[in-house]
Amino acid sequence: MLKCFCFLISITLFGALGSLAQESAPGAMQQPSNRTQVRINYLNVCSPSLADQHLISLTLSALPVRPQFSPDFEISRGRSSMEDAPVSHWVRLRRDFPGSSPYTSSQYALTTDEKGTTETLVFHSRDTRDVVQVMLEDSITGASSPASIVKTDTPVDRIRLERFGKASVVLARCPAADQGALQPLFDQASRIMEDYRNVFGVKKTVPRELAALGVGVANPASQQSRSAAAKH
């Protein structure tokens, strides 16, 4: 069975204060070591361990199903460009939870460029002793209209739990792997994404904000040409 692997590399530097025991002649001085220790943590994102699957399920079940937000919120939009990368446009919506909630805020974001569109839903935990952030994501490749994408509830294809002082727990859709046993987790995450799209009013708000960026707006000249052709 073909499986995909993703790995996280964490590098710890030890200064010259440490020294390694070395074989040397009597009376020889031991030289301090400036070696770098490399620790590699492999994350099997296609088939996490049973313990990680259980943690994902518990964490998703603990997310607010019918959120009661505080009055504070944020709507932002922008254009981003990077060297050797296509120009992207994005819209972000943030709502804050009240102080009694185990989460401080939830943020929805849509990012689109010529290669595709990604939706991301993030929850920030108030208790940072274990899971500090929960991220759900779906991606659509190709030149589909972002305005049409938000009208459809695209299933989540990536779940990520960021933990304090520990490796992240990640589950991603891997077409080449047998993930039938993991489908309930993807379904659980997709229902949450669908609920929060509705809570954030994504289907109305995002196309409006994208239009302000000029994304999804037809060229006026082409509109006039279509109107003239319709008259004839």
Whether 19 maps to a domain, the answer reads: no
- Per DSSP, helices labelled H in the chain are 50-62, 146-149, 183-200, 202-212, 220-231
Number of domains in the chain: 1
Whether 97 maps to a domain, the answer reads: yes
Q: Which residues of the chain have pLDDT under 50?
A: 1-3, 5-26, 219-232
pLDDT of residue 213: 93
The two tokens of residue 37 are 């220790």
The two tokens of residue 91 are 């819209």
Whether 39 maps to a domain, the answer reads: no
pLDDT of residue 16: 37
pTM of this structure: 0.76
pLDDT of residue 12: 37
The domain of 197 spans 44-215
SS3 76: strand
Whether 112 maps to a domain, the answer reads: yes
